[in-house]
Structure 1
Amino acid sequence: MKTRISIITSALLLAGCSTVAEPQAESQYNASLIITNGQVLTINDEKDVIENGVIVIENDTIVAVGDASLLSRYQAPKVIDAEDGIVMPGMINTHNHLPMIAFRGLGEEGIENRLFAYFFPLEKEKLSRDLIYQATKLGAVDLAQSGVTTYADMYYHVDDMARATKEVGLRAVLGETVIKFPVVDAPEPYGGIEYATQFIEEYQNDPLITPAFAPHAVYTVSKEKLQEINRLSAKLDAPVLIHVAEFGNEAERIEGNDQQLSPVAWLKEIGVLDNRMVLAHGIHLDQNDIDLIKEAGASVAHNPMANAKGATGIAPAWEMYRQGLRLGLGTDGPMSSNQVDLWRTLSYTANMQRLKHNDRTIMIPEQVIELSTIGGARALHMEDQIGSLEVGKKADIIIIETQSPNMMPNYNPYATLVYQANPGNVSTTIVNGDIVMEQREIKNIDMAEMQQAVRTIEADIAEFAKELSKKAIKSKSLMN
């Protein structure tokens, strides 16, 4: 691999990225945190890789990225030795339903109508504010331990999700679900619109939480409500997260879609497809759909592992990537892929596209890591803040150790990450300049207390879930 050495010091900040001044030669500039001795994958436009690299952080912002010469110009009260590990931007999970981690491992008996006969009834019976808060905390710890620093989510009681996420210390885009039937936090159909509006107004300027609307899907939210959400999202400058083209028969299930337009074409037709919209899945897309998404400036959250497990299809991810769409990676909920980390998703992303196209030269590791970092940032329209290690961006950084047998040898760091690494190789996770995990130790959460809360939830759910499976397995899928 050709390695380029890029030294980006605070002199660049004077050009407009920040107000931090260039330290004088006879003194050292006092920063907050310095990372040394790492193989730095910047994921900048040039994909610069810095051997024995250094990253300098002041509060929540990266102020310098370069080689070891920076150590003569900066000092900090906290210095982390990466010990020849890989230092890279935190990964970004662009689609999740994190509180469903409380149900992880349930409904695996081969239930055909799993969404409507199992997922929804389980949620109706067992969801509560406390479960959502406790499960989000568990999920956020799982994310932090695996090197995900930002996640996007569609669920309920998102204010409790925000509270748990901030306690762990992660960044999140949280969308309050809007759907046409009563749910745990909205006794009236479409009550999520009011809930979301209040949540957005409360969290609009939060440093870690980006509040959003989350209409469930084109077949569970009416045209009029989608248009109302679009107007509100424009007024409040809030993202819109939605499931689109996950199933092959969605067009015929859209109320009022007499022309049988595709879900993407339907969103365009009713005037709601725009640059605030993040489309989860996007499996059943044709070229016209891809063109419409790109033209609108919308984005796609690609979930190959969940799609494979659910047998819903292989998305045209290579076509979207090659044509320059805003494309990120996601896991979907913990009942869909049973994972919230992106490590296995990385290899699924590459290998399923190669199988689909019968071409081993596409989706090379560098491209896959791009999708998990700056690609995810673009998908969430946050690329000016996160997704790469560059001066002026937020300090969302992870360190992956390279001394374990599964990480050796490390000829090509991108290939090592995509095909060798696992969550246990992540040693340190930093979000917004704060250390969330160091040497595998979670900093902000009482782990024993969290584990006991999860055991209590498990004991409450187990028997009901077992009986529900017996009923659900007899239900035929509505998606056939």
Structure 2
Amino acid sequence: MNSKLKSAIALALLGVSSLSYAQTDVSLIIKNGQVLTMNSQKEVYDNGVVIINEDAIVAVGDESLLKTYTSKNIIDAENGIVMPGMINTHNHLPMIAFRGLGEEGIENRLFAYFFPLEAKKLNRNVIYQATRLGTLDLAQSGVTTYADMYYHVDEMAKATKEIGLRAVLGETVIKFPVVDAKDPFGGIEYAKPFIEQYKNDPLITPALAPHAVYTVSEAKFKEIDLLSAKYDIPVLVHVSEFGNESERIEGNTDKLSPIEWLDSIGVLNDRMVLAHTIHIDDEDIALVKKSGAGIAYNPMANAKGATGIAPAWDMYKLDIPMGLGTDGPMSSNQVDLWRTLSYAANMQRLKHNDRTIMIPEQVIELATIGGARALHMDDEIGSLEANKKADVIIVETQSANMRPSYDPYATLVYQANPSNVVTTIVNGDLVMQDRVMKNVDTDDIHQAIDKIESDIAAFAKELAKEAIKSPSLMK
């Protein structure tokens, strides 16, 4: 073999060798963390790596991935827990403007206090500014997606996108005039341009939110269902939060349960997300299972409101799509899920007198992929898997409250708090890194809330004096 041929072969082999070690450049790499994938096998990588390019996860695995991928942006998780962003499946986020009010022991809190307070003090600016505060609170605590039922959802969408979170925003439909609709059930018309504007948005999923079976008529439920089917959007609704809802349904002469009534009028389906579902029986659960509807389990709010304990364990065993919610900031006073995690487990253990059920791994499932299933979004979010959206959080494990950490699921459910979340990523974008918000001026948000608080305080105090005289509708 002549020397020229030898040289050509050597160069060719060198080229093949170089190609075999070429690295793929990506937008972000997270390394050196305990990665909880929450995939179907619940895989955990103790020295794990998450590879992100633009808005999607490319790969999840062990440190060998660092041989294949490179990035200018590498986050060292410093042995913290890397997990999917949490999903709050039920909220009324702008009510954070009223958080802490109405705690004087008012029995008829919803109708004698909540609704009059909203009627007097809500407006576009309050909803926008309160949503900014609420989404700031969510981002700082590791919630990357939330589902909400409220008013002026266009203002909520604007504020949510400023922070950088993902949201399912349901325009409330109810039988009396409200802040964004002068006519009863006016939320339907208000929702239509909102749906058109956001139907293809990368972060905002528009939805319809009939308030409850006792505040929305059969005809309006059917109209909402048709609109939901036309646009393939979710329907968010309160169901069986109170024990006397059957008697309050207009025209319910057969005394059907709320679940049975929704099924009987043909609107119980897999586009629905049912919040609370406390006062339901086995027949109701079977109908929910058959329909494919999702469940938003709100244990902390239900305990605080003394409305009861939902049969969440029974539904979990039947593999009904179910996630965790906080309800509004006047119901649990929280929008993050950390305290709700322990409530989710402990209320079921108390209900069933069984400390072996709803173990921490199952609770974290509800807070992540379970919430995604409940919102019918599990093909995009809820777990760390290739081709899913890059919604990721990092929870540090070096603070005193996090030590020791033998079982990451138990650490998260029973030890962690919002301040342990150090990094929040949504759709591949850094929303918070090392506890520093990336997209907003937090001082500006707090100053706006100071003004709102000053305006509301005196009126709220006087309203409470009247509201406390109103008997509970449960009586």
Q: TM-score, normalised by structure 2?
A: 0.96
Is 2:336 the partner of 1:336? Answer: no
Q: Please name the residue that 1:43 is paired with.
A: 38
Q: Partners in 2 of 1:362 and 1:76 — Cα distance?
A: 42
Task: Read off the aligned partner of 2:107 and give its amino acid letter.
Answer: E
Structure 1 counterpart of 2:141, one-letter code: S
Q: How does 1:342-421 map to 2 (within 5 A)?
A: 342-421=337-416
100, 105, 110: which one pairs with 2:105?
110
1:281-320 equivalences under 5 Å are 281-320=276-315
Larger mean Cα displacement after TM superposition, 68-77 or 257-266: 68-77
Q: C-alpha distance in 2, partners of 1:230/1:386?
A: 25
Does 1:463 pair with 2:458? yes
What amino acid maps onto 1:95 in structure 2? H
Asked if 2 retains the 8 angstrom alpha-carbon contact of 1:275 and 1:297, the reply is yes
Alignment partner of 1:452 is 2:447? yes
Q: What per-residue deviation string (whole Å, max 9, x for no partner) do you get for residues 342-366 of structure 1?
A: 0000000000100110001000000
What whole-Å deviation, never above 9, does each CA across 1:317-340 have from its counterpart, x for those lacking one?
000000110110000000000000
Aligned to 1:323: 318
Counterpart contact for 1:25–1:73, Cα < 8 Å = no
Question: What amino acid does structure 2 have at the position aligned with 1:326?
Answer: P
Q: SS of 2:368's equivalent?
A: helix
Residues 1:133 and 2:128 aligned together:
yes
Structure 2 residue aligned with 1:82? 77
Pick which of 231-240 and 112-121 moved more.
231-240
Superposition pairs of residues 176-187 of structure 1, within 5 angstroms: 176-187=171-182
Corresponding residue for 2:207? 212
Question: Alpha-carbon deviations, 1:52-110, whole Å to 9, x = none?
Answer: 10000000000011111111111111100000000000000000000000000000000
Question: Which residue, 167, 178, 187 being the options, matches 1:172?
Answer: 167
Instruction: Give a deviation string over 1:179-231, Cα, whole Å, max 9, x none.
Output: 00000000000110011122111100000000000000000000000011001
Whole-Å Cα distance in 1 between the matches of residues 466 and 285 of structure 2?
Answer: 39
Q: Give the drift of 1:479.
A: 2.6
Once superposed, what is the RMSD of the aligned Cα atoms? 0.8
Gaps of 5+ in 1: 1-22
- Contact kept, 8 Å, 1:32 with 1:78, in 2: the verdict is yes
Offset of residue 123 of structure 1: 0.1
1:135-154 alignment to 2 at 5 Å?
A: 135-154=130-149
Structure 2 counterpart of 1:163: 158
1:237-252 to structure 2, matched below 5 A, reads: 237-252=232-247
Q: What amino acid is aligned across from residue 170 of structure 2 in structure 1?
A: G
State the SS of the aligned residue for 2:88. strand
Structure 2 counterpart SS, 1:372:
helix
Letter in 1 for 2:413: V
1:95–1:152: 8 Å Cα contact kept in structure 2? Answer: yes
CA separation in 2, counterparts of 1:321 and 1:165?
30
Q: Which moved more, 1:247-256 or 1:439-448?
A: 439-448
Q: Please give the alpha-carbon distance, in whole angstroms, between the structure 2 residues aligned to 1:199 and 1:479.
A: 36
Q: Deviations over 1:278-302 (max 9, x none)?
A: 0000001100110001101101100
Amino acid at match of 1:235: K
Equivalent-residue separation in structure 2 for 1:197 and 1:348 (angstroms): 37
Give aligned pairs, total.
458
Q: 2: distance between equivalents of 1:444 and 1:117?
A: 38
The one-letter code sitting in structure 1 at the alignment partner of 2:262 is: L
Asked if 1:189 corresponds to 2:184, the answer is: yes
How far 1:24 moved relative to its partner? 5.0
Q: Partners of 2:172 and 2:307 in 1: how far apart?
A: 22
Separation in 2, partners of 1:261, 1:198? 35
Amino acid corresponding to residue 353 of structure 2 in structure 1: N
- For the residue of structure 1 that corresponds to 2:127, the secondary structure is helix
TM, length-normalised to structure 1:
0.95
CA distance in 2 between counterparts of 1:73 and 1:321 reads 39
In structure 1, what is the equivalent of residue 257 of structure 2? 262
Which entry has the higher C-alpha Rg, 1 or 2? Answer: 2
CA distance in 2 between partners of 1:161 and 1:82 (Å): 32
One-letter amino acid matched to 1:191: G
Decide whether the 8 Å contact of 1:152 with 1:172 is kept in 2. Answer: yes
Hey, what does 1:60 align to over in structure 2? 55
For residues 232-277 of structure 1, the C-alpha deviation after alignment (integer angstroms, 9 at most, x for no partner) is: 1101111100000000000000000000000000000001000000
For residues 441-479 of structure 1, the C-alpha deviation after alignment (integer angstroms, 9 at most, x for no partner) is: 111111111110000000000000000000000001113
What SS does the aligned partner of 1:211 have?
strand
> Are 1:91 and 2:75 counterparts?
no
Aligned residues of 1:155 and 1:177 also touching (Cα < 8 A): yes
From 228, 232, 238, the equivalent of 1:233 is: 228
The equivalent residue for 1:26 is 21
Aligned counterparts of 1:129 and 1:435: Cα–Cα separation in 2: 28
Kindly provide the CA deviation profile for residues 16-54 of structure 1, in whole angstroms up to 9, marking residues without a partner as x: xxxxxxx95221101000000000000011100001100
In structure 1, C-alpha distance between the alignment counterparts of 2:474 and 2:206, rounded to whole Å: 30
1:24 and 1:164, CA in 2 relative to 1: closer, same or farther beyond 3 A?
A: farther
Show the counterpart of 2:5: none
CA contact (8 A) 1:281 1:303 kept: yes
SS in 1 for 2:449: helix
| 1:175 counterpart letter in structure 2 | G
Corresponding residue for residue 428 of structure 1: 423
CA distance in 2, matches of 1:94, 1:220: 21
